[in-house]
């Protein structure tokens, strides 16, 4: 078969560096030429139509054009597709038959990222978007003891939410995260890693540093406490890394690559030093883990410290699964969890580690797991924006339907924001739980 007509490949997909420092990366004319090329390929394929709202937006533009082809779509409307993409990466990993090493070299998420970066340079980013992606600044202010009650009250009052919608474009119906004045740093200030023998395996070094993430620091610090409890219960000396800043994923999704680099320059030396001291690193939020395992290495492929951190960074359940394989995980559980509806977060799926959360939870006696492999449509900021909230609720609906049909004892997602978005879709007074919290309950610690 001629290579021109070959569809797909038996070869594993490969990722090329982003190339944000290459000549021509910010060339708008070159960008639109590449957008037209890739949009035309996507139009001829349409396998990704059910993944998110970016592809239906593209196909509607084509189908409503005079030519019924991409050449009939106004170039200004290309941005409508870009704005709908929240970089879940699932099209690249699970659907597209033309990803590299295929000669057509389609990397839709990183093309969208390039477009967002150019759009940011052109001033397309709204004030709201700059604010909501400044997670460190918001968290540090909102978690001040006196301020936190006001912020939480404003975020959950229908009148002030209506004002936020009209003034900033933050959807009045979207659930906003609560802030906690007792941050993870405060809760663990006096904590010292357990003084136990460090037991390494072939792929883990046996002591772990937690990168708290903005969400784990300011919104749900209990996640960090649960991680500490579970890991130290398994004889793993564990600590919370001090003085870190945002991983940069929110700014990446905005296209503010200069801020991503600034945040990288703060975090990477801290984390690389810990790696040199023999620590492995985890984080409680898949998007933050993916930032260090994939996005920063693709942005800075020649930075040895970034590579070093990448090689030492793990998803929490990936780490526990490796310990279990080495016979180093405790499997004596005191409590059954029952039936769990488990949502697999997109940014965990694209780490290519398999369903390690499901595997570990399956070790709990009397536990049944119903796995849901669909995007929740939250993305951290997409679901809270007025113009996208309805679309996000449409995307999460199949997940909600599966949870309702399963009638589980608990439902969970490795992404806490996705979990809360599922709760919003259910709207029945129930609340999501993080898998690490379920594991702690099973251990009875």
Please classify residue 128 by burial: count the beta carbons closer than 10 Å to its beta carbon, then call 0-12 exposed, 13-18 middle and 19+ buried.
Answer: middle
Start-end of CATH 3.40.50 domains in the chain: 184-316, 331-443
Write down the pLDDT at residue 173: 94
Per-residue pLDDT at 108 exceeds 60: yes
pLDDT value at residue 5: 46
pLDDT at 92 over 50: yes
Q: Provide mean pLDDT across the span 426-434.
A: 95
Query: Mean pLDDT across the stretch 308-312?
Result: 98
Q: What is the DSSP letter of 67?
A: S
Q: What is the pLDDT of residues 315-353, one digit of tens each?
A: 999 999 999 999 999 999 999 999 999 999 999 999 999
Angle at 295 between CA 283 and CA 313, to 5 degrees: 35
Average pLDDT estimate for 86-99: 91
Q: What is the mean pLDDT of the chain?
A: 94
Residues 127-146, mean pLDDT to the nearest whole number: 94
Percent of the chain with pLDDT over 70: 98
Smallest CA-to-CA distance from 95 within 399, 350, 344 is with 350
Task: Name the burial class of residue 9, with classes exposed (0-12), middle (13-18) and buried (19+) by CB atoms within 10 angstroms of its CB.
Answer: middle
What's residue 184's pLDDT? 97
Work out the average pLDDT over 161-188: 95
pLDDT mean over 48-62: 93
Residue 240 backbone zone (phi > 0: left; psi -120 to 50: alpha; other: beta): beta
What pLDDT, on a 0 to 100 scale, did the predictor assign at position 51? 87
Q: Mapping DSSP to helix (H, G, I), strand (E, B) and coil, where does residue 208 land?
A: strand
Helix (H) or strand (E) holding 112: helix 108-121
Q: Helices in 122-220 by DSSP H: which ranges?
A: 127-132, 135-142, 145-155, 158-168, 184-187, 213-214
71 pLDDT tier (thresholds 50, 70, 90): very high
As a whole-number percent, the residues of the chain with pLDDT over 90 amount to 94
CATH class, 184-316 region: alpha beta
Query: Is residue 107 classed as helix, strand or coil in its secondary structure?
Result: coil
β-strand partners of 411: 341
Q: By the 8 A CB rule, do 241 and 210 touch?
A: yes
SS3 201: coil
CA distance 267 to 217: 15
The number of beta carbons lying within 10 Å of the beta carbon of residue 267 is 22
Q: pLDDT at residue 1 above 50?
A: no
Tens-place pLDDT, residues 145-154: 999 999 999 9
- CATH ID of 331-443, from 3.30.450, 3.30.70, 3.40.50, 3.30.750: 3.40.50
User: Hunting for tokens 């998420």 — which residue is that?
Assistant: 109
What is the per-residue pLDDT for 3? 40
Query: How far is Cα 118 from Cα 281, in angstroms, rounded to an integer?
Result: 33
pLDDT in tens, 246-304: 999 999 999 999 999 999 999 999 999 999 999 999 999 999 999 999 999 999 999 99
| Confidence at residue 9, expressed as pLDDT on a 0 to 100 scale | 57
**Whether the predicted pLDDT of 379 surpasses 50:** yes
* Residue 6: pLDDT over 60: no
pLDDT for position 8: 57
Query: How much is the pLDDT for 2?
Result: 36
Give the pLDDT confidence score for residue 191 in this predicted structure: 94
This prediction has a pTM of 0.94
Q: What is the mean pLDDT of residues 96-102?
A: 93
Res 234 pLDDT > 50: yes
Average pLDDT over residues 21-47: 96
CA atoms within 13 A on the CB side of 339: 8
Say yes or no to pLDDT of 10 above 90: no
Cβ count within 10 A of residue 44:
11
Please report how the helices 158-168 and 145-155 are oriented relative to each other, as an axis angle in degrees rounded to 10: 80
User: Up-side HSE of residue 226: CA atoms within 13 Å toward CB?
Assistant: 22
Write the DSSP symbol of residue 120.
H
Q: Which of 33, 217, 233 is nearest to 114 (CA)?
A: 33
Phi-psi region of 224 (alpha: psi -120 to 50; beta: other; left: phi over 0): alpha
Q: What is the pLDDT of residue 43?
A: 95
Crossing angle of the two packed helices 54-63 and 28-45, in degrees rounded to 10: 90
């Amino acid at each position: 078969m001629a290579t021109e007509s070959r569809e797909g490949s038996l070869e594993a997909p490969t990722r090329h560096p982003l190339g944000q420092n290459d000549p021509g990366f910010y060339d708008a004319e070159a960008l639109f030429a590449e957008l037209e090329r890739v949009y035309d390929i996507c139009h001829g394929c349409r396998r990704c139509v059910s993944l998110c709202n970016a592809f239906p937006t593209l196909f509607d533009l084509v189908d409503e054009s005079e030519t019924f082809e991409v050449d009939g779509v106004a170039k200004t409307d290309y941005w409508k597709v870009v704005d709908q993409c929240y970089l879940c990466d699932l099209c690249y990993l699970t659907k597209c038959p033309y990803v590299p090493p295929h000669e057509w070299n389609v990397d839709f998420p990183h093309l969208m990222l390039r477009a967002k970066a150019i759009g940011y340079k052109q001033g397309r980013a709204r004030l709201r978007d700059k604010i909501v992606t400044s997670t460190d600044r918001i968290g540090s202010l909102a978690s001040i003891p006196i301020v936190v009650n006001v912020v939480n009250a404003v975020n959950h009052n229908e009148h002030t939410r209506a004002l936020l919608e009209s003034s900033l474009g933050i959807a009045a119906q979207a659930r906003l995260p609560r802030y906690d004045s007792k941050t993870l740093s405060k809760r663990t200030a006096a904590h010292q890693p357990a003084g136990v023998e460090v037991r390494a395996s072939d792929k883990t070094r046996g002591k772990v540093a937690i990168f708290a993430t903005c969400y784990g620091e300011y919104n749900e610090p209990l996640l960090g406490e649960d991680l500490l409890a579970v890991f130290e219960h398994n004889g793993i000396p564990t600590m919370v890394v001090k003085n870190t800043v945002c991983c940069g994923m929110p700014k990446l999704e905005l296209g503010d690559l200069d801020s991503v680099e600034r945040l990288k320059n703060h975090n990477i030396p801290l984390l690389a030093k810990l790696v040199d001291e023999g620590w492995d690193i985890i984080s409680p939020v898949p998007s933050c883990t993916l930032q260090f395992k994939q996005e920063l290495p693709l942005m800075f492929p020649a930075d040895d410290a970034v590579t070093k951190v990448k090689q030492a960074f793990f998803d929490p359940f990936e780490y526990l699964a490796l310990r279990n394989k080495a016979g180093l995980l405790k499997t004596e559980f005191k409590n059954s969890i029952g039936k769990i509806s488990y949502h697999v977060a997109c940014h965990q799926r694209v780490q290519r580690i398999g369903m390690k959360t499901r595997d570990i939870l399956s070790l709990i006696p009397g536990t049944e797991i119903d796995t849901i492999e669909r995007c929740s449509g939250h993305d951290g900021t997409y679901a809270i924006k007025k113009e996208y909230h309805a679309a996000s609720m449409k995307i999460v609906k199949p997940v909600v339907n599966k949870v309702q049909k399963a009638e589980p004892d608990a439902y969970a997602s490795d992404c806490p924001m996705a979990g809360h978005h599922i709760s919003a879709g259910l709207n029945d007074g129930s609340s999501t739980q993080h898998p690490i919290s379920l594991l702690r309950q099973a251990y009875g610690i």
